[in-house]
Structure 1
Amino acid sequence: MRKYSDERYIVHPIRVMKTCSAYTDKIQILAAALLHDVLEDTSVTEEQLLSFLETLMDKNVADQTLKLVVELTDVYTKEVYPHLNRKQRKEKETLRIEQTSADAQTIKYADILDNCKEITAADPHFAPRFLKECMTILKVATKGDKQLYEKVYKEVQTELVNLRKR
């Protein structure tokens, strides 16, 4: 289940994929959008995911899809870096995301868009921190789809302004 709603978790990656589909028809981007949280939030390994993908698509597309999912998987997690506080982990994660591919950043934009709306509505106390973290990412992750980037940037700004009005 989603943390901030009574929806099943799968609705989030589906929405991320649908958002991406408005900007691209590349199967590796759409597949990675759908799978972007699998390595981070499940016990599935990279090897298992690649093996699964190779049953659905040719090896080259499967490899590209896995690469994108890996790029989208948080590295600086609390579990792996317990000595770092959230701010330190997010700073390192932002620097890492800055180095990711344009395709991964496009998916990240769609992920931010979906999460920012939900978190703002459900948790107005945490939302300002989350939205500022998103804005920090958007300021450095500028290689993705330009139209989606502009849409997400404006949405995050709007959500920040709306929170200040509350």
Structure 2
Amino acid sequence: MEILEAITDFARKAHEGQRRKFVDEPYLNHLVRVSEICKEVTSELPIIAAALLHDLLEDTEVTSEKLSTFLSQRFSPEETRQTLKWVHELTDVYTHADYPQWNRDKRKTKEAERLGKISATAQTIKYADILDNSLDIVKSGSGFAPRYLIEAKMNLEKMNRGNKELYKKAKEAVSEGLRKVRGR
């Protein structure tokens, strides 16, 4: 798994110094967990790579071109294209920076609609992301947990083409999280 080690190292360096918002740990831990969740349903390296890199373009200074160059040194042209496609699909479009005139509810609704149209593979990775985030935010006791979980539920209602097993786990984690934060 030399390729995955190189990709993990690339993600580690790109996310250097970043910490999780609701759990005091290096950001890389989340990315590794998302990739491990994906490994439960696939052994395809480009999918696992996209899971490790899913927040890269959104949360770091790494450009699409730099990521493409990095991937092309490790993957075939088709694998590079696919991995980049999935990372792009998983990168938020309706951000506050790009849509400051919209409130959070409008941005998140538009993002959920967009996520409903992405590939089944990218949806599968997003399920793993939601699963890990839901478990973390509920454990943290954050007051933001109910809002995150409601938004995750809205995303899952729109995204139903990915891996059915992970979809079910993500839905259960969100539902259980909502029960816990609502005190039931």
TM-score (norm 1): 0.97
Q: Of residues 22, 35, 38 in structure 2, which corresponds to 1:4?
A: 22
Distance (whole Å) between structure 2 residues aligned to residue 154 and residue 14 of structure 1: 21
Q: Tell me, which stretches of 5 or more residues in structure 1 are unaligned?
A: none
1:108 partner SS: helix
One-letter code aligned to 1:106: T
Partners of 2:62 and 2:143 in 1: CA distance:
33
**Pairwise CA distance, 1:124:** 3.5
Partner Cα distance (1:25, 1:59) in 2: 19
- 1:122: Cα distance to partner? 1.7
Aligned length: 166
Structure 2 counterpart of 1:54: 72
- Residue pairs, 1:124-139, within 5 angstroms: 124-139=142-157
For normalisation by structure 2, the TM-score amounts to 0.88
Q: What is the aligned counterpart of 1:95 among 105, 113, 127?
A: 113
Partner of 1:27: 45
Shift of 1:123: 4.0
Q: Stretches of 4+ moved more than 3 A in 1?
A: none
- CA offset digits 1:40-60 (Å, max 9, x no partner): 001111111011000111111
**CA distance in structure 2 between the partners assigned to 1:5 and 1:161 by the alignment:** 20
| Aligned counterparts of 1:6 and 1:21: Cα–Cα separation in 2 | 25
Structure 2 unaligned regions, length at least 5: 1-18
Aligned residues of 2:138 and 2:180 also touching (Cα < 8 A): no
Q: How far is the alpha carbon of 1:162 from its aligned partner? A: 1.3
CA–CA distance in structure 1, aligned partners of residues 40 and 111 of structure 2: 27
| CA RMSD across the alignment | 1.0
Distance 1:18 1:115 in 2: 14
Counterpart-to-counterpart distance in 2, 1:123 and 1:77: 25
SS in 1 for 2:176: helix
